[in-house]
Structure 1
Amino acid sequence: MTLLVTGSAGFIGSCYVRQHFEHSVEPVVSLDALTYAGHLSTLGPVLKRPEHTFVHASIGDVDAVRAIFEKHKPRAVLNFAAESHVDRSILGPGEFIETNVVGTYRLLECAREYWNGLQGEATAGFRFLHVSTDEVYGTLKPKDAPFSETNRYEPNSPYSASKAASDHLVRAWHHTYGLPVLTTNCSNNYGPYHFPEKLIPLCIMNALNGKQLPVYGDGQQIRDWLFVEDHTRGIRTVLETGVLGETYNIGGWNEKANLDVVKLICNLLDELQPRADGISYSTQIAFVADRPGHDRRYAIDARKIERELGWKPVETFETGIRKTVQWYLANQAWVAEVTAER
């Protein structure tokens, strides 16, 4: 029994692999292209485990993926691999189409080819779990109900459009070919090992380095924040007990405006590592021009996964963000390492 985890050196994928080995000795084959946001150090000590195999390749590399299926015969594929930064998708959408759409298509085809060759219990037990985002649903107005699994897709950025396309491919491969798939759509993740271009790690590190803390527009864009370890617990739950063909939204029940998130980070840093001059880090907040097509609000209705599979988040935003800030304070060398190579 083996798992194939794609995007395993990224933020969420690496958390899944590390967490997996806290509970299991089932072998894992990690596949990652090691683009700018993927780094082997995120896998830490699990890299040296005899149950762990790392393969440096993209999900679009058909020969590499086929070789993994042939050699390791995984019981499941967990597809975390994706280009995920909205700003980068605006500047260069081509890479997002190539990885998130074409790459997912090629991975699906390799998985289908492998699955068609299985027999008996191996056929029935195989799973393809696709990890996606709440951004495929578009944006919400202030009083709109949170996104449920039945919301229609209305992506507004090249990133979310590419993820929406990949979700549709996964659905189609299930309904057309019978491939046993599961899909999860999550809200904004945060936590340790997050590449420092996203809001929370960027603000932590900019604050410590005396730089501005950039806040888009008026800072009132609202996101539902999900601690990454809660997210990966949810994915494990869906993999083991989810109903084939179903989609499960995984959210943190923590809607926060971006500006409030940045202010909370400043308050924690004021407490945990005050500036030498005694001035609050909040004085470094700087409002910058909003990005094109910036969605105003995301929120996840996570009642289905709690009702049907028994999962709910453990961390509140207050407990999770404190753990996150503490981790970055203790691991500034990791940030310096991963950013120096990019």
Structure 2
Amino acid sequence: MNILVTGGAGFIGSALCRHLAVVPENRVINLDKLTYAGNQASLWEIEDLPNYRFVKGDVCDEALVADLLRAENINRIMHLAAETHVDRSIDGPTTFIESNILGTFRLLQAALKYWRGLSKPEAQNFRFHHVSTDEVFGDLAFDGSMFNERSPYAPSSPYSASKAASDHLVRAWHHTFGLPVVLSNCSNNYGPFHFPEKLVPLVILNALGDKPLPIYGNGANVRDWLYVDDHARALELVAARGKNGESYNIGGDSERSNLCVVETICDILDHKRPRCKDGSYRNLITFVADRPGHDRRYAMDTSKIKRELDWQPQESFETGLAKTIDWYLENDWWWQPIRDRSYWGERLGRPVAAQ
């Protein structure tokens, strides 16, 4: 495949680029405008490969996108470029509207024009893969219910509303204009190269720095956790073999409360790197006021992608988390410069809590 990955310097995007580029038959073009969470250091393993190319640019730049599509003979667009942090969307929703909605619209327009100019065999082999989130479905009760691909949309935050809008745009361009698309909605990712403001790396690094581990409310909010390399494998399958016009839920089958996640990290660190004083890292846990509109629970029914594309997560939450913690213990060269830029746990003068 000749693949244009948007947002490929971000957490999930860089994992996807690393996964795709190790296959010599793939040509991977990474388009990223390098906002605060984009980091080319996450791509050091592949940056010198002949089948990988990085381009700094914005998906809103239709002319740039059009040039890349033509020059590289792209047959897969994998669209991950997005603003993703719920807290940031509450503080400043404008960026989320511009990046997630307008950016997707501009990319769709460029893709549609390009696709219409392809030969029939090339057009039949083209796909626009839109990567989204389980948060578009809204809130679940603490019961056995799960989101499936037919669940109604009920976003709660500016972030999830902007992603829901982008999902609707992609489906509209498929139904109205015939653009070949596939969509995927994933649960919470974790793993190496995760930006330190997100729950898992924030807790790991705050603990290592002997700083408070803030958790919203009572920590009962539940998320499903997906190891990022498992997600990258699933995205490759959806882009290559997903049915035109269909969507696929991708999750790790690992529901955990936020408090459980933080306590598990503390217990692993107690074993791998014990505190010098004051006992367990659990003693650093601090409960803080909940954030506005905090969804109680997300859970994903992943039976469709397992049945149709023969995908399964390879990591359990415990094995994936242990690998993640080992990576952060061994790779301070990557995360320390980010922490030095004041991302250690304060945002606009108040604590960033575990989500």
Q: Structure 1 residue 24: deviation in Å?
A: 3.7
SS in 1 for 2:315: coil
Q: CA RMSD in A?
A: 1.1
- Residues in 2 aligned to 1:32 and 1:303: alpha-carbon distance in whole angstroms: 32
Percent identical pairs in the alignment equals 53
Moved more, 127-136 or 307-316: 307-316
Q: Paired residue for 1:68?
A: 68
Q: Paired residue for 1:285?
A: 285
- Residues in 1 aligned to 2:41 and 2:141: alpha-carbon distance in whole angstroms: 40
- Residues in 2 aligned to 1:23 and 1:338: alpha-carbon distance in whole angstroms: 30
Deviations 1:237-277 (A, max 9, x none): 11111100000000111000000000000000000011112
SS in 1 for 2:104: helix
- Residues in 2 aligned to 1:136 and 1:246: alpha-carbon distance in whole angstroms: 16
Amino acid corresponding to residue 227 of structure 1 in structure 2: Y
- Residues in 2 aligned to 1:181 and 1:336: alpha-carbon distance in whole angstroms: 39
Q: Structure 1 residue 45: deviation in Å?
A: 2.2
- Residues in 2 aligned to 1:22 and 1:56: alpha-carbon distance in whole angstroms: 21
Q: Structure 1 residue 20: deviation in Å?
A: 1.1
Question: Where in structure 2 are the equivalents of 1:29-44 lying within 5 Å?
Answer: 29-44=29-44
Q: Structure 1 residue 309: deviation in Å?
A: 1.2
SS in 1 for 2:46: helix
Q: Paired residue for 2:320?
A: 320
Q: Structure 1 residue 144: deviation in Å?
A: 4.4
Which stretches in structure 2 are left out of the alignment for 5+ residues? Answer: 343-355
Verify: 1:141 aligned to 2:141, yes or no. yes
SS in 1 for 2:63: helix
Q: Structure 1 residue 140: deviation in Å?
A: 0.1
Verify: 1:251 aligned to 2:251, yes or no. yes
Verify: 1:27 aligned to 2:27, yes or no. yes
SS in 2 for 1:9: coil
Answer whether contact 1:39 1:338 (CA < 8 A) is retained: no
Amino acid corresponding to residue 30 of structure 1 in structure 2: N
Verify: 1:215 aligned to 2:224, yes or no. no
Q: Paired residue for 2:178?
A: 178
TM-score, with length taken from structure 1: 0.98
Which stretches in structure 1 are left out of the alignment for 5+ residues? Answer: none
Q: Structure 1 residue 91: deviation in Å?
A: 0.2
Q: Paired residue for 1:2?
A: 2
- Residues in 2 aligned to 1:44 and 1:284: alpha-carbon distance in whole angstroms: 34
Question: Where in structure 2 are the equivalents of 1:190-229 lying within 5 Å?
Answer: 190-229=190-229
Q: Paired residue for 1:118?
A: 118
Moved more, 303-312 or 16-25: 16-25
- Residues in 2 aligned to 1:78 and 1:195: alpha-carbon distance in whole angstroms: 21
SS in 1 for 2:101: helix
Q: Paired residue for 2:335?
A: 335
- Residues in 2 aligned to 1:59 and 1:120: alpha-carbon distance in whole angstroms: 26
TM-score, with length taken from structure 2: 0.95
- Residues in 2 aligned to 1:268 and 1:62: alpha-carbon distance in whole angstroms: 47
